[in-house]
Amino acid sequence: MKAYLLTDNLQKKLPLVTRAVSTHSQLPILLNILLEAKNGKLILSATDLEIGIQVEIPANIEEEGAVAIPAKTFSELISSLPQEKITIKTEDNNFIVKTSKTKSVFQTLPKEEFPKLYEQKGEEIIKIKKETAQKDLQKVIFSASTDLGRPALSGVLVKIEEEGFLTVGTDGYRLSLKRHNLLSGKKQEGEILKTLLIPARVLREAVSIKDQEGDISVFVSSENNQVLFEQDAIIIVSRLIDAEFPSYEKIIPTDFSTRCSFDKQEMQKAVKICAIFAREAANIIKLSIEKDKVVVSANTPSVGENIVNIEAKTTGEDNEIAFNARYLLDMFTNLDDEEVVFEMAGPLNPGVFKIKNDPSFLHLVCCKLKTKAFFYCLSSGSKIWFNNKIIFCKVFPGSYWYELNFG
């Protein structure tokens, strides 16, 4: 291999590839990046066997070839080089990076040991606008669980519909749902292409790409149970999650007794202030909906209390509900809209946040009260004994442990 390219191009693309490099692997090859020089491009690939990322960089190829080199060392070297034209080449079993003043030599591994990221792209099922991916998908991704021990909740459900597609993410305590318009798509046969469970980590990487202008194409290979995102010269690939997503429809409230709308930034500031006083009380803050205002408060006996009044347009009866402040701050951080609508049916029911004049989105947060119990919920509405009283399981059914809260 021998090629010439600009360090600036490497410095822009290399950090994305290194996010797929394994950090603690039993396989030494996964600590490496695969470099392939061919067809006027330098192709960089990395994988930890859960996610794979591949990027292409323009290069002047004098001799084609491929080699695997240590990812961490190579990344640190490239980030330290000045912006100039560099030469990369292989000699014997070594990989050499040469600038006008430096020469670096790497030990290599043969390309045959590096896992192939994908056999085929599969069928293109969705094409998403870049703006949609960065703005709308993020509203759902943050709600997915980061606990890989619960695989179904660590993914985002994607359902292909007639006029677009639906995405749903949940960690068992909160849920985000968003309907998206379809830029283009193909009507396919087979259930695998209608309902997909995509790892949230893959979607995070796909929406984090900032310097590409093209639309994002989504491919699915039912034969390999694989999903692939392609944007310009970048490919991100992963296996689909083989698990059953909770029946989220059952826990979305269909009616409410209290409704209010308020400025998002004002409410976000209020929650941040009250969260300071809620740190020693499991981050619990209370929202009290009264006439023309929402009172946000936190009370910790060992610290003190805090109350913030927010102007709001309210309808229905006065009500109050308690939430984990972190969940509300996460939601507000991922919404860029100015006005938010909140609906609730009672202090023991989930609260629903919506965007004003946008029926395509909702975010549900389970209430948070002081007494806690853990139960195994087999079905929605199951009767369970607690403190000699019959209560009802109103959270996600399925074969998982969930935390229920009672006053």
pLDDT score of 173: 92
Please report, as a single letter, which amino acid is at residue 336. Answer: D
> Is residue 191 pLDDT above 90, yes or no?
no
What is the side-by-side strand order in the sheet with 319-324? 304-311, 293-300, 284-290, 319-324
Give the pLDDT score at 163: 76
Nearest to 341 by CA among 369, 349, 331: 331
Domain end marker among 64, 84, 113: 113
Structural domain includes residue 99: yes
Last residue of some domain: 113, 134, 154? 113
* Short-list 14, 9, 1, CA closest to 76: 14
Tokens read off for 103: 């020469």
131 and 108 housed in the same domain: no
Question: Does 118 reside within a domain?
Answer: no
What distance in Å separates the CA atoms of residue 49 and residue 244, rounded to the nearest whole number?
22
What is the Cα gyration radius of the chain?
A: 25
**Same domain membership, residue 329 and residue 313:** yes
The CATH number given to whatever domain includes residue 135 is 3.10.150.10
pLDDT at 199: 96
DSSP code, position 7: H
Q: Six-digit token pair at 317? A: 């009866």
Helical residues (DSSP H) of 145-238, grouped into ranges: 200-207
Domain count within the chain:
4
- The enclosing H or E element of 406 equals strand 401-406
Residues 75 and 9 in one domain: yes
Range of the domain at 190: 123-249
Q: Is residue 297 part of a domain?
A: yes
Helical spans, DSSP H, in 168-309: 200-207, 264-278
Whether 399 maps to a domain, the answer reads: yes
Domain boundary residue, one of 91, 113, 135 = 113
Q: Quick check: pTM over 0.95?
A: no
Q: Is residue 317 a part of any domain in this protein?
A: yes
Whether 280 and 302 have beta carbons less than 8 Å apart is answered as yes
- Mean pLDDT over 89-101 rounds to 94
* One domain, residues 244 and 128: yes
Q: What is the mean pLDDT of the chain?
A: 86
For residue 233, being part of any structural domain is answered with yes
Task: Provide the pLDDT for residue 384.
Answer: 40
Residues 105 and 87 in one domain: yes
In this prediction, residue 183 carries a pLDDT of 54
What single-letter DSSP state applies at residue 251? G
95 & 146 share domain: no
The answer to whether the CB of 153 falls within 8 A of the CB of 244 is no
